[in-house]
Amino acid sequence: QVQLVQSGAEVKKPGASVTVSCKVSGYSLTELSMHWVRQAPGKGLEWMGGFDPEDGEAVYAESLQGRVTMTEDTSTDTAYMQLSSLRSEDTAVYFCTRGMPFDFWGQGTLITVSS
Amino acid sequence: DINLTQSPSSLSTSVGDRVTITCQASQDISTYLNWYQQKPGKAPRLLIYDASTLETGVPSRFSGSGSGTDFIFTIDSLQPEDIAIYYCQHYENVPYTFGQGTRLDI
């Protein structure tokens, strides 16, 4: 069955970078686009970016442009999301999800940014 | 960017109630709209896609309708396990924004 398994929680200092991984099984990364969604504590869902199924290129939310990089390793069926220059407002649970629509989700990874 | 406005933001309900949530898009998105359910500490769950298609395994008491800019999500006969936050999301173009969510309480 389809599963998306994310890496564990991390605590980072402001200005640092973080990489979250998402290992998929039950299907291949080449079959469907991977996207990333985050949720700050007590807040709603924010689409961060994902891969355009037309050309396979990553597209990002404008608010994160220049700080976020999404990549895929199709040999291991693992997707990665790197966020740099971390700020306190980046504290959130980060989800990987395949889509569209977003029918399967990772379990979420809590990233805490604190000095 | 396309804005999605959900209404109401919260709703006090009772078991057996019929629940209706609306989602209004800031521009025409045809039927490129999904609905998700999220329970505390869990990932969202896809319920409805393409505005009105029920995802496999989702109970038939959930339904969706609409096109263009106005959409409706309905739960017929609310069950205790339906207490959650519900989000609409469009995919007409990037960014694939979500509505702000509707919290159901008993």
Helix/strand/coil (H, E, C) string of A57-96? CEEECHHHCCCEEEEEECCCCEEEEEECCCCHHHCEEEEE
How high does pLDDT run on average in chain B? 97
User: Mutate which of A100, A107, A109 to test chain B, going by most B C-beta atoms within 10 A?
Assistant: A100
Which chain B positions have a beta carbon within 8 Å of A97's beta carbon? 43-44
Which chain A positions have a beta carbon within 8 Å of B45's beta carbon? 105
Tokens 């700020």 sit at which residue?
Answer: A87
Residue B47's pLDDT is 98
pLDDT band at B100 (very low <50, low <70, confident <90, very high): very high
Q: Do B91 and A101 touch (CB under 8 A)?
A: yes
Residue A45's pLDDT is 98
Chain B interface includes A54 (CB < 8 A) = no
Nearest-angstrom CA–CA distance, A71 and A114:
26
Q: Which residue of chain A is at minimal alpha-carbon distance from B98?
A: A45
Residue B37's pLDDT is 98
Per-residue pLDDT in tens (0 to 9) along chain A, 115 residues: 999 999 999 999 999 999 999 999 999 998 999 999 999 999 999 999 999 877 889 999 999 999 999 999 999 999 999 999 999 999 999 999 998 899 999 999 999 999 9
Find the angle CA(B62)-CA(B66)-CA(B69) to the nearest 5 degrees: 130
Mean pLDDT along residues B75-87:
97
Residue B56's pLDDT is 97
Pair B4, B98: CB distance under 8 Å: yes
Residue B106's pLDDT is 85
Residue A94's pLDDT is 98
Residue A52's pLDDT is 82
Token representation of residue A60: 């990002």
